[in-house]
């Protein structure tokens, strides 16, 4: 348990220490069942706000997952009249909730959208729920001077989306960009010519699992065929099952 003190965000202390203190006081008052409940609540908070280090893939054009969780949507989607693809990831309460940038680039816009708190698994949550919308201009190569969109989406349980970056900031692939509290959803919108390498039901790890590849001019034929294999290996080495 003490490992969590060295690998969690500061919110873990704010939410975890009070129930632990309450548990200790209740224990000395001989209210053992109540003390156990508060102690477990504190441990849960420490676990929820954990922030493990991740190995960031160096593959050209790779788009990494912005969050831990399960792929629940892979679909074609228009955005501002542009054809593209959306990948949605559902975060359960036991997943890591620190969010990471899917690509390297510059945040050209960061928009907060107030909204509903529908269950994160509902299709309408992507458009109607409270969310932070990151628009990132990629710098992966000459062919990738476009933009992708990453959303932190609140859910029925998660009632707070927290951005740690602002418009104009430069981010590295897999860099920490924010946090969503307690159970939520993350969406990534990509240009239509991106090549998605995950499927429905895949479990992914934020910052280390590859979701897709943006087109990179320098990618040769051998790289083109090798990329899906590397992505599958990456899913497994993230320490999570593929399905």
Residue 114 confidence class, pLDDT cut points 50, 70, 90: confident
- Compare 95 and 102 and report the one with higher pLDDT: 102
Q: Which of the four pLDDT bands, split at 50, 70 and 90, describes residue 2?
A: very low
Percent of the chain with pLDDT over 70: 78
Nearest C-alpha neighbor of 70 from the set 49, 89, 54: 89
Count CB-CB contacts under 10 A for residue 151. 23
Sign of CA dihedral 50, 36, 154, 123: positive
User: Does the active-site annotation cover 184?
Assistant: yes
The model's pLDDT over 167-204, given as tens digits with 9 standing for 90+, comes to 999 999 999 999 887 668 899 999 998 999 999 999 99
Nearest in space to 94 (alpha carbons), one of 31, 158, 47, 38: 47
pLDDT of residue 239: 39
Are 160 and 181 contacting, i.e. CB atoms less than 8 angstroms apart?
Answer: yes
Question: What pLDDT is stored for residue 102 in this prediction?
Answer: 95
Is the distance from CB of 71 to CB of 86 less than 8 angstroms? no
Q: Which secondary structure element, helix H or strand E, spans residue 40, and what is its range?
A: helix 32-48
Torsion region of 140: left, alpha or beta (phi above 0 gives left; psi -120 to 50 gives alpha):
alpha
pLDDT higher than 80, residue 6: no
How far apart, in whole angstroms, are the C-alpha atoms of residue 20 and residue 173?
36
Q: What's the pLDDT score for residue 157?
A: 58
For the entire predicted model, the pTM comes to 0.77
Better pLDDT: 111 or 221: 111
Helix (H, G, I), strand (E, B) or coil at 133: strand
Mean pLDDT of 50-60: 89
Window from 74-78, 87-91, 160-164 with minimum mean pLDDT:
160-164
Q: Read off the pLDDT of each residue in 81-103 and give the average, rounded to a whole number.
A: 90
Q: What is the pLDDT of residue 183?
A: 62
**How far is it, in rounded angstroms, from Cα 216 to Cα 8?**
35
Q: How far is CA 84 from the centre of its chain?
A: 20
Q: Alpha-carbon distance 47 to 44, whole Å? A: 5
Q: Give the C-alpha distances (Å, rounded to integers) separating 187 from 9, 38, 120, 141.
A: 22, 34, 11, 23
**pLDDT band at residue 232 under the 50/70/90 scheme:** low
69 pLDDT higher than 70: yes
pLDDT band at 26 (very low <50, low <70, confident <90, very high): confident
pLDDT reading at 222 higher than 60: no
196-232 burial string, b = 16+ CB within 10 Å, else e?
Answer: bbbeeebbbbbbbbbbbbbbbeebeeeeeeebeebbe
Q: What is the pLDDT of residue 218?
A: 46
Q: Which residue is catalytic, options 88, 184, 194, 208? A: 184
pLDDT given at position 203 = 95
For position 68, what pLDDT does the model report?
94
pLDDT at 236: 39
């Amino acid at each position: 348990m003490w490992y969590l003190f060295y690998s969690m965000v500061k919110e873990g202390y704010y939410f975890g220490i009070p129930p632990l203190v309450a548990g200790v006081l209740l224990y000395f008052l001989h209210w053992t069942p109540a003390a156990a409940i508060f102690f477990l609540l504190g441990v849960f908070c420490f676990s929820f706000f954990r922030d493990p280090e991740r190995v960031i893939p160096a593959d050209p054009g790779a788009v990494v997952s912005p969050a831990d969780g399960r792929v629940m949507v892979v679909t074609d989607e228009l955005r501002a009249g542009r054809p593209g693809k959306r990948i949605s990831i559902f975060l359960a309460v036991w997943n890591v909730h620190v969010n990471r940038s899917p690509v390297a680039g510059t945040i050209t816009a960061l928009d907060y959208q107030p909204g509903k708190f529908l269950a994160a698994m509902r299709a309408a949550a992507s458009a109607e729920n409270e969310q932070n919308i990151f628009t990132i201009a990629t710098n992966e190569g000459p062919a990738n001077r476009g933009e992708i969109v990453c959303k932190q989406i609140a859910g029925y349980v998660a009632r707070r989306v927290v951005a740690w970056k602002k418009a104009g900031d430069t981010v590295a692939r897999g860099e920490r960009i924010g946090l969503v509290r307690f159970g939520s959803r993350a969406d990534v919108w990509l240009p239509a010519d991106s090549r998605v390498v995950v499927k429905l039901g895949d479990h992914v790890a934020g910052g280390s699992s590859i979701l897709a590849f943006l087109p990179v001019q320098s990618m040769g034929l051998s790289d083109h065929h090798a990329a899906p294999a590397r992505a599958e290996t990456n899913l497994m080495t993230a320490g999570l099952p593929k399905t």
